[in-house]
A and B are shown apart, each in its own frame.
Chain A
């Protein structure tokens, strides 16, 4: 077992802690299109190929539904819902 040391960025929103593993994100944008809340935007932080990663635009929009994580072909998003 290797312990992962992927670069990452956390965005604390009201309903969930959104983590983007920028060391895996390829900036394909598939997640953005599928986010029901349309809350994902291109990040200033770059992904593994030097293209923008993604993040929620503010603390309000994200519902913590997890759709973005489901459709990411690279498993670059982790959603931890708040109770």
Chain B
């Protein structure tokens, strides 16, 4: 038997190498998600929804039922599937442009209604697929395609703190966390707890993952890690923000 790579069981091997750029953080987030699905043993019940943006490159990433929707609309589409089939484990996967700008209303209202689904959002500080324009999450003074002199917070505001916003509008039964691709094991644990919150029917769950976009950042490997671990992590605090399990303990 020929030797096989150590991919999560839920990954669809014949679609690998996957479609993301070299060094893209999406691959690491989906590795954490794949391991979480494997460890929870839920592959046959998962429905995976991906957004427009680079997240859509994952439409055939897993060996699960999948749907790709319009920009920012993944959350309501997955809400519909969950309401029609409550026995399914519904995962909405999107970028920061989809979740915090174009689809922010959908995220806010699904969270406020405490929909029993899991939203995973890749925060890479820009609009990746369209060429690196400023996103709500671009850091102050960060150079992007549309802010060549750096993002001026006086003109375009300060970066959106997504998990903090979701935590503020959800009930105590919601799970909310921010992980990072610089710590895949921790990110996997956050995603597992988010999925468990849905499996138990407890409430909404949301995990933002700090992610790399070396193509649009124009960074080599060293600078990619540095941007994630220093620049982004200084502004976006990694950790669990809301955990119903902790309340009960």
**Which A residues are closer than 8 A to B by beta carbons?**
2-6, 8, 19, 21, 23-24, 26-30, 32-34, 48-49, 51, 69-71, 73-76, 78
Contacts and interface: CB of A to CB of B under 8 A. Distances in A.
B140 to A, nearest CB: 26
B220 A71 contact: no
B232 interface: no
A8 to B, nearest CB: 6
Contacts of B214: 28
A10 to B, nearest CB: 8
B221 A75 contact: no
B3 A8 contact: yes
Contacts of A75: 5-8, 11, 16, 31
Majority SS at the chain A contact face: loop
Given A4-B13, A24-B16, A29-B221, A73 B26 contact: yes
Interface residues of B, number: 33
20 contacts: A3-B4, A4-B5, A6-B5, A24-B17, A27-B22, A28-B22, A28-B23, A29-B23, A30-B23, A30-B224, A33-B221, A33-B225, A49-B22, A71-B184, A73-B26, A73-B31, A75-B16, A75-B31, A78-B5, A78-B6
Interface in B206-225: 214, 220-222, 224-225
B57 to A, nearest CB: 12
B223 to A, nearest CB: 10
A26 B22 contact: yes
A19 B17 CA distance: 16
Given A26-B23, A29-B221, A30-B221, A74 B3 contact: no
Nearest to B4: A4
Q: 10 tightest CB-CB pairs across the interface, nearest first? A: A73-B27, A28-B23, A29-B221, A26-B22, A28-B22, A75-B7, A4-B4, A24-B17, A33-B221, A73-B28
